[in-house]
């Protein structure tokens, strides 16, 4: 599946609306099937999570002041002399 880019062709308001709809879908999305008398119900979350992630990325592109990239903290230290 190709990566979705909602920053192209959508406004910030439209992306926020798509995000709100899919957040609500998280609560009620179920898939059910039956085979040989056994019924299985499973949450189908993969597609919803993909759309939510694409919306979050688009919001970071469309409005970086409001939706900044997550800050990454890293630190390294190399001692120049070892205490004995």
- In a domain, residue 48? The reply is yes
- pTM more than 0.75: no
Count of structural domains, the chain: 1
Instruction: Give the list of residues 6+ apart from residue 79 with CB closer than 8 angstroms, or none.
Output: none
Asked if residue 5 belongs to a domain, the reply is: no
3-class state of residue 46 by DSSP: helix
In a domain, 75, yes or no: no
User: How far does CA 17 lie from the centroid of its chain?
Assistant: 15
The reported pLDDT for the residue numbered 69 is: 82
In the structure encoding, which two tokens stand for residue 78, read together?
A: 């190399």
Task: Measure the CA–CA gap between 67 and 21, rounded to whole angstroms.
Answer: 19
Rounded average pLDDT per 10-residue block, the chain, 84 residues? 80 93 79 74 78 91 87 77 65
């Amino acid at each position: 599946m190709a990566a979705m880019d909602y920053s192209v062709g959508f406004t910030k308001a439209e992306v926020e609306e798509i995000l709100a709809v899919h957040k609500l879908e998280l609560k009620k999305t179920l898939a059910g099937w039956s085979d040989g008398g056994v019924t299985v119900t499973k949450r189908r979350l993969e597609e919803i999570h993909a759309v939510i992630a694409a919306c979050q990325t688009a919001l970071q592109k469309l409005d970086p002041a409001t939706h900044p990239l997550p800050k990454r903290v890293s630190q390294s230290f190399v001692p120049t002399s070892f205490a004995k």
